[in-house]
Structure formats: C-alpha cells, structure tokens
C-alpha cells in the first residue's frame, strides 16, 4: 500500500459512492480514515479515532503523573503537565475541539489537574 490515499468526505445522509482515481497509471486506494500531521481524519469528520488515540495517550500520562507526584516538586509536575498534556491538547484543537467526543479529553485533563493540585475527585477545577 502506498502513501497516497483518497478520503471521500461525506455527511450522514449522503450516499456512498465508489471512486476509482488513477495517477500515473496507478490506482489510488480509497480509505475511510487517514492520518495527516498526526491528526486522524475519518470520512465523516467525527474525530472519534483521534480522540481515542489521545485518550489512551493521556491515560498513560495520567498514571505517570500520579506515580511520580510524591517524588518531585510541584513546579516540576507543572512542567510535565505542560509538556505531556497542554501542548498536545492544543495542537489541532480548532478541528477536533467541537466534536462530541472531545469531552473525554477534557475529563482526563481535569483529572490530571486534580492529581497535581491534590484535590478530591469531585472538586471543581475552575479555580485551579
């Protein structure tokens, strides 16, 4: 399978069409999702696959922060938070941030903020 793919974007109500596109006498494969600059685009732009990818990545980072919290200072924890969460979450948020699946990312982010600040699981994160 080559690097070139065709991703036909469609809406919920549109009918599936079979597209055969050729380039330099080679057939370009049609795919349901593709990754471009670390963003995973699916054919309906639902962002479910990308959010799932970020969720697993953030859950691992959440475990790491919880494990090393007793060993390092608060300032170092904030540096780790900004390097593991804030920068990655901000990348491409203009595309996937309005998705109905993005709430999962923000819930994990609130969980990490509560871990760093030493708050309970039901405390508000607005002031933190």
- Tell me how many degrees the CA angle 113-50-44 measures, rounded to the nearest 5: 135
Give the separation between CA 122 and CA 7, rounded to whole angstroms: 42
Taking only the tens place, the pLDDT of each residue in 40-93 is 777 777 788 888 888 888 888 888 888 988 998 888 888 888 887 777 777 777
Q: What is the mean pLDDT of the chain?
A: 77
pLDDT at 18 over 70: no
**Structural domain spans, the chain:** 5-42, 48-117
| Contact present, 117 and 128 (Cβ < 8 Å) | yes
Taking only the tens place, the pLDDT of each residue in 4-13 is 777 777 777 7
């Amino acid at each position: 399978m080559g690097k070139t793919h065709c991703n036909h974007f469609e809406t919920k109500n549109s009918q599936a069409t079979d597209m055969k596109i050729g380039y330099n006498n080679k057939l370009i494969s049609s795919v349901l999702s593709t990754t471009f600059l670390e963003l995973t685009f699916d054919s309906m732009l639902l962002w479910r696959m990308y959010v799932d990818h970020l969720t697993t990545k953030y859950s691992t980072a959440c475990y790491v922060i919880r494990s090393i919290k007793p060993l390092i200072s608060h300032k170092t924890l904030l540096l780790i938070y900004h390097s593991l969460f804030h920068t990655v979450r901000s990348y491409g948020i203009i595309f996937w941030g309005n998705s109905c699946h993005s709430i999962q990312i923000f819930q994990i982010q609130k969980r990490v903020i509560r871990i760093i600040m030493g708050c309970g699981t039901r405390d508000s994160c607005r002031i933190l």
